[in-house]
Structure 1
Amino acid sequence: METKIFSTNEIKEAAEAINAGKLVAFPTETVYGLGADATNETAVKQVYAAKGRPSDNPLIVHVSSVTMVEQYAAEIPDQARALMAKFWPGSLTIILKIKPGSLSKTVTGGLTTAAFRFPACQPTLDLISTAGVPLVGPSANTSGKPSPTTAQHVYHDLNGKIAGILDNGPTKVGVESTVLDLSTDQPVILRPGAVTKADIEAVIGSIELNHRKVKANEIPKAPGMKYKHYAPNAQVYVVDPATDWQMVSEWVAKQPEQVGIMAKNSTLKTTKFPANAVLFSIGDDIKSATHLLFDGLREFDNQPAIKIILAQGFVATGLGAAYMNRLNKSAGGCHFDFKA
C-alpha cells in the first residue's frame, strides 16, 4: 500500500478514508497525529499496530467542538470550561471522566477517563467535521522515535502502513500539547507543553506538575508517562545551561567519530568546533529551540555515522519545561559530564 499525500483541498477524500476505517495522519499546531475514527475500535487497533505502540498507552481524542466532548464526558467541570474558553482551539489536552461505555478501552487504555483536545489547525478541524467523528491522534511516528513535525517525517516512518497524510506544511509549536488531568480533585499537569503551568494557573488557580514515574504494572493516564519516547538511534546527552561549550568542543575533538551538536545560534557562533562536529542550529531562543527539537533529532537520525548527539539544555521553566521534558526523555536522562 502506497501512502497518499492529501492536500488541504482533498479533505473530503481524507474524511472518506477515515469513515472507511482507514488511518490518515493529520497536522496540528504541535506535531502530526495518526488519525483514526475514535468510535471505530477496529480502526483504533490499527493505530497501535502501525506505530508499534503498547496497548496500555491511552490515546488523545481530537475534537472540533466542545459539543463533541459532551457526547463522551460524564461531566465538564467549570474549571474545564474556563480553560476550554481560554485555550481552545489550542495545544491544551484535558483529561475528563467519561460516560461508561462511551469510548472503547482501546482508546482509553482501560481507564474510566479520556484525554480531549481541540487543535488549532483549521484543515484538521475541517477533517473532523467532515468525517463527523472525533479522531484518536497519537504522534504519527514509529513508537519511541522523535515526533513528526512535517508530512515528510510521517511518510518516512509510516509509508505503506497508513492510507494517507493530510499535508499542511511544518507545524508551528514543535512539541506535543500540554496534558492536564481534571479527573481528580487536584488538577495536575501530566505532560508539559506550550500552554504553561503559569498560563493555566492564571485561569483556575494552583495546580500541580507531575514528576512521578509510572510503574511497570500501571496504566499511564496520558502519553509519554511510561515508555521510551523521542529517541533517535544515536545516544543523546543534555548539555546543561551552565556548561562551558568550548570545553565541550575540546571533548568532541578527541572523539574518533562524528558528533552531532544541537545548539543555539549564539553557541554555534562563539564556539570553535572541530571538523568532526556536525552542527544543527536550534535558533535563538526557547521558542525556536522547542520548534526545532524534533527536526534536529530526526536530521541526525538520518546520519547513521553519528552515534552521539549533544543537545543544548535550557532552564526548565515556562516553555523550557516542555523542551526539557522531551529532551530528557530523548536522552534517557543522560547529561553530558565529559565522561559520556
Structure 2
Amino acid sequence: MTPVTTRTFAADPAGLEAAAEALRDGGLVAFPTETVYGLGVDARNSDAVARLYQAKGRPSFNPLIVHVASFEAAEALVEFDATSRDLAQAFWPGALTLVLPLKEGAGISPLVTAGLATLAVRMPDHAVAQGLLAAFDGPVAAPSANPSGQVSPTTFAHVKNQMTGRIDGILDGGVCGVGLESTIVAARPVPTLLRAGGVPAEAIEAALGGALATPSDRVDDTAAPTSPGQLSSHYAPKGQVRLNVDHPAPDETLLGFGPVEAPLNLSPSGDLVEAAAALFDALHRLNEMGAEKIAVSPIPAHGLGRAINDRLQRAAAPRPEGSGAPA
C-alpha cells in the first residue's frame, strides 16, 4: 500500500475535533480505550472499512467491533432483549462487547459484519474514546491498532511504531488501563462466551445468575468466526512461545508471573489485574529484546487469568503455513 502521512492528535477539544473530522473524511484514526488502542473508521463507510482491512492486513471474513457513545446509539444499530439489556446496564461503559442481531436499515457497512446478520458493539469506558465518539457523533468500527496477528497496542508508542505510514492519525491518550481486549458475549439465543477479556466471565455469570455457554456447547458451532477475536493464531510476538513453563531452557527468555526470577515479570506478586495490564507491553518488549524463544510461567485460569491465558495460547498457536514470524 502507498504510505500515508500519519498525524498525531492531542487529547484536547481541538485534537478530538480534528480526529473526528479525519473519520468523517474516510480516514483511519487510532484512539485509546480502557482495553487497548483501537483503529477507528466510520462504520458506515465501506471504502474506509476496506482501507482498514488493508492497513492491518486483516482477513475480510473477520468481523469488527463497533464502538458507540451511548446505549441509545447502540439501540439504533442492534436488537436488544431483556438479557442483553441487563448486561449492557451492568457493564457499560466498559470492556464488554455484545454480539446482537443487526437492525434492518442500521446503515452499517456489510464489510464490518463480514456478511453476518449480527453486529459486535460496545461502549468504551475511556474519557478520550468517549470524547472522540461524541465529536464524531456516529458508530466507529475499531479493531486493535496493530498489524493483524501481531501484539495489540496499549500505548501511543506501540501504535506509532507499528502503524506510522499506514493510517491517517493517532489520538494520543497515554497508556490503556485494562491492557486486554474486551470480553465478547453473544447474548442470543443463550448467553455465550465468545472471547475472554477485560471483564471476567465470573462477573458476567454473577450478573446473569447462571453459567455462560461456550462455542463448543452450541449445536451450530462452525470453524468460521462468529465474532471478532476468534482466530486461533493471534497476538503473536516474533519469537516462538512455550506456555506453563516452570524451568525454562537455557536458550529461552522467561516471561514470569509470581515470585520467579525473570528478565520480564507480569506481576511478581501474582496479581492478575497487574498482569493483564502488563501483558501486551511485555510482548512488545520481548520483540525489542530480540527474544527468539519465549517461555511463560504458569498463570492461574480464573478471573482475568482466563483472558491472559487465552491471549498467550493464541500467541503460541502455530502460524499459517508460509507466514513465518510476524513482520
The TM-score, its normalising length taken from structure 1, stands at 0.86
Partner of 2:8: 5
Among 14, 17, 37, the alignment partner of 1:32 is 37
Partner of 2:255: 262
Structure 2 residue 273 is the aligned partner of structure 1 residue 287: yes
Identity, % of aligned positions: 39
Query: The residue matched to 1:301 in structure 2 has which SS?
Result: helix
Over 3 Å counting, the alpha-carbon distance change for 1:161 and 1:281 in structure 2 is: same
CA displacement, residues 18-62 of structure 1 (integer Å, 9 cap, x when unaligned): 111100001001100000011111111111000000000000000
* In 2, Cα distance between equivalents of 1:175 and 1:287: 10
8 Å contact kept, 2:232–2:314: no
Partner of 2:49: 44
Over 3 Å counting, the alpha-carbon distance change for 1:195 and 1:104 in structure 2 is: same
CA displacement, residues 183-240 of structure 1 (integer Å, 9 cap, x when unaligned): x32110100112122211222222334254999x843122221252011110011125
Partner of 1:65: 70
Opposite residue 203 of structure 1, the aligned amino acid is A
Query: The residue matched to 1:153 in structure 2 has which SS?
Result: helix
8 Å contact kept, 1:144–1:227: no
8 Å contact kept, 1:213–1:226: no
Shift of 1:313: 2.4
8 Å contact kept, 1:109–1:219: no
Q: How many residues align?
A: 309
Among 271, 274, 285, the alignment partner of 1:299 is 285
* In 2, Cα distance between equivalents of 1:225 and 1:72: 22
* In 2, Cα distance between equivalents of 1:295 and 1:313: 18
8 Å contact kept, 2:145–2:159: yes
Partner of 1:221: 226
Shift of 1:265: 5.4
* In 2, Cα distance between equivalents of 1:236 and 1:51: 23
* In 2, Cα distance between equivalents of 1:287 and 1:35: 26
| 1:30-109 paired onto structure 2 within 5 Å | 30-73=35-78, 75-102=79-106, 103-109=108-114
Over 3 Å counting, the alpha-carbon distance change for 1:298 and 1:314 in structure 2 is: same
CA displacement, residues 81-138 of structure 1 (integer Å, 9 cap, x when unaligned): 1111111110000011011352222000100000111000011111111111111110
Partner of 1:167: 172
8 Å contact kept, 1:213–1:225: no
- Gaps of at least 5 residues in structure 1 are 274-278, 335-340
8 Å contact kept, 2:232–2:317: no
Shift of 1:181: 0.2
Query: The residue matched to 1:202 in structure 2 has which SS?
Result: helix
Shift of 1:333: 7.5
Among 152, 157, 165, the alignment partner of 1:152 is 157
- Gaps of at least 5 residues in structure 2 are 320-327
Over aligned residues, Cα RMSD in angstroms? 2.1
Query: The residue matched to 1:81 in structure 2 has which SS?
Result: helix
Q: Which range moves more in the overlay, 25-34 or 192-201? A: 192-201
Over 3 Å counting, the alpha-carbon distance change for 1:28 and 1:165 in structure 2 is: same
Opposite residue 314 of structure 2, the aligned amino acid is K
CA displacement, residues 150-185 of structure 1 (integer Å, 9 cap, x when unaligned): 111111111011111111111111110000001x32
* In 1, Cα distance between equivalents of 2:50 and 2:92: 28
